[in-house]
Amino acid sequence: MKPQTKSTTSILPFNISTTTLVLVLSFLHGIALADDHVHHDTNQKFLQCLSLHSENTFISKVIFTQSNSSYISILNNLKQNLLYASPEYRRPQVIVTPFHVSQIQSVLKCARKHGLRTIVRSGGHDHEGLSYVSEVPFVMIDLINFNQIDVDAEEKTAWVGAGATLGELYYKVSEESNNLLAFPAGVCPTVGVGGHLSGGGFGYLMRKYGLAADQVIDAHLMDVNGRILDRKSMGEDLFWAIRGGGVASFGILVAWKVNLVDVPSTVTVFTVVRTLEQNATQIHHKWQQIAYKLPEELVISAGLKSVEGKRTMVAIFSAEYLGGVDRLLPLMQERFPELGVRKEDCQEMSWVESTVYHRAFNAKENLNLELLLDRLSFAKYYMKAKSDYVREPIPVEALEGMYEVLYEEGGHNIYVISFPYGGRFNEISETATAFPHRSNKFHLMYYAEWYDDEESQRVIELDRKLYDYMAPYVTKNPRATYFNCKDLEIGRNNFGDNYTSVEEAGVWGNKYFKNNFKRLVDVKTKADPDNFFRNEQSIPSRVRQGSRKRNH
């Protein structure tokens, strides 16, 4: 899929008549007067700038100010974390839902000229809400209309718009390949492709094929000057950085080109639950020792959760095997007999059906593939996540200590989920992409989910307490964490537009990127020296803001 652009260089204003310009300016002036925001003057100048550099229809169809009747619904449609739905969080001055690359170029040009931060939203699943909230005035570009997917089943590749969701990609790839091709990425189908791939992206195919980012072979990226760059024109350093280092620090991702991978016509899934009376703790401990060493066709995730109102736990093991149940059962009996998987626990299905199954957690009925196409089909909730990497099995007594934290009030809202590494995932060099966490046995996430805002403080504090408790049992120097599991509590850039040094950003940057952080800073300094593309955890430039004159 090639981006819809007339130029690969700088943007050019559209030719519009003087009469049209006056009408458009009058329309924008009316909108600005209705907006009583403190940054009224900047808004007005920004909107006037857009009118000079855009087609007339652009204004009425894709620009939404806070006074527009559709503004709130557009903002909230893809605001996935209710924790950031509160009015206390700054809303975008303007929301833009472009259909064409030239419209993004116009927004970028005018935002730079008038000092408005630009934030891009692909699917709205950033755990800290950084794709739709900010501490300074900003414009939000919502890429929901950039969801085109072009599959070449013969070449086993696809161009995917940055605004497409994983579910849309899975559905399209399966449809175009008669269920024989897949794409290795995450479990949640409403996650946006643009951000997910740029941070890594893993799921039930990762031990066979690696990360989603490992399958990226080209990209179309808009740089700070509005140019559309592909892999060749951006260079290998920038191409390296946007695969695992987060694209938001470097530009605006328009589309990815990815390799597709082979899957058998039949895969087998199961989900089994074990209680403490059924030796859940010992089984989980055994899982830690063998899950990363199993054949790469098999991924078994392991979850731990307390039962509301009771001092007890359950362990939840969910698996996907690239093959039939008749091959899976002997393998499980040989390598992991403690789990006691039976044939009746298993279901055979196509790979694309398994993506619905895993999202629904043991959905034995209603594997409706249309759910993959519905961005709004899943409930929204308050959420907070923290994550770790583990190299050595967590002792049984440490697991039991974890239970004590989860037994506290609100602990049933926290799900401790682990995905095993190994296989192809660990064979790839830690410097092949910006994602560096290849030498671990498994990834551990403390995922909190709740539905009542009154519980927010209690649950967040408990999630933090659990994270602190686990410190002795996870990676150290640095205590590594996954960039797609964004956590501002591990460190953040200085408030607002204040300069953040490389050393200051290293507090969090080394945890996400380890030794790759310094290379990411070098790429950032070259690609965006004045740090226009920035947020609370964006890669810093070595150039202090204000030391160079910006080219508007």
Task: Provide the H-helix boundaries in 316-441.
Answer: 325-335, 351-360, 396-406, 424-427
End-to-end CA distance of the chain, in Å?
30
| pLDDT at residue 60 greater than cutoff 90 | no
Contacts of 105 (CB under 8 A, 6+ apart): 5, 11, 222, 226
How much is the average pLDDT of 237-252?
98
pLDDT at position 56 is: 63
How much is the average pLDDT of 241-260?
98
Q: How far apart are CA 210 and CA 507, in angstroms?
A: 28
Could you tell me what percent of the chain has a pLDDT over 90? 82
Q: What is the mean pLDDT of the chain?
A: 90
Cross-strand partners of 271: 318
pLDDT at position 134 is: 92
The phi, psi pair for 421, rounded to 5°, reads: -100, -150
Local confidence band at 415 (pLDDT 50, 70, 90 cut-offs): very high
Local confidence band at 412 (pLDDT 50, 70, 90 cut-offs): very high
pLDDT at position 154 is: 97
Contacts of 32 (CB under 8 A, 6+ apart): 40, 43, 44, 47, 65
Q: How far apart are CA 242 and CA 249, in angstroms?
A: 9
CA angle, 47 then 123 then 218, to 5°: 95
| pLDDT at residue 11 greater than cutoff 70 | no
Quick one: tokens of 445? Answer: 């996430």
**Whose CA is closest to 50, among 68, 77, 31, 72?**
31
pLDDT in tens, 40-54: 788 889 999 988 877
Contact 396, 403 (CB under 8 A): no
Q: What is the DSSP string of 452-505?
A: -GGGHHHHHHHHHHHHHHTGGGS--SS----TTS--GGG--PPSTT----HHHH
Least confident of 83-87, 380-384, 431-435: 83-87
Contact 51, 59 (CB under 8 A): yes
Local confidence band at 364 (pLDDT 50, 70, 90 cut-offs): low
pLDDT at position 42 is: 86
How much is the average pLDDT of 314-323?
98
Contact 402, 424 (CB under 8 A): no
pLDDT at position 363 is: 55
* No. of helices (H) and no. of strands (E), the chain: 18, 18
Cross-strand partners of 442: 390, 420
Local confidence band at 29 (pLDDT 50, 70, 90 cut-offs): very low
Return the residue matching tokens 């790429």. Answer: 523
Contact 484, 196 (CB under 8 A): yes
pLDDT at position 39 is: 60
Q: How far apart are CA 109 and CA 388, in angstroms?
A: 39
| pLDDT at residue 18 greater than cutoff 70 | no
CA angle, 12 then 18 then 21, to 5°: 70
| pLDDT at residue 27 greater than cutoff 80 | no
Q: How far apart are CA 339 and CA 102, in angstroms?
A: 55
pLDDT at position 31 is: 41
Name the residue with higher pLDDT: 21 or 536: 536
pLDDT at position 23 is: 37
Q: How far apart are CA 349 and CA 11, in angstroms?
A: 49
Q: How far apart are CA 312 and CA 502, in angstroms?
A: 45
Contact 57, 87 (CB under 8 A): no
Q: How far apart are CA 414 and CA 459, in angstroms?
A: 8
Q: Domains of the chain (ranges plus CATH)?
A: 25-142 (3.30.43.10), 267-350+379-471 (3.40.462.20)
pLDDT in tens, 257-296: 999 999 999 999 999 999 999 999 999 999 999 999 999 9
| pLDDT at residue 545 greater than cutoff 50 | yes
How much is the average pLDDT of 375-401?
93
Q: How far apart are CA 340 and CA 344, in angstroms?
A: 11
Q: What is the DSSP string of 238-274?
A: HHHHTTTS-GGGT-EEEEEEEE-EE--S-EEEEEEEE
Contacts of 145 (CB under 8 A, 6+ apart): 97, 98, 99, 163
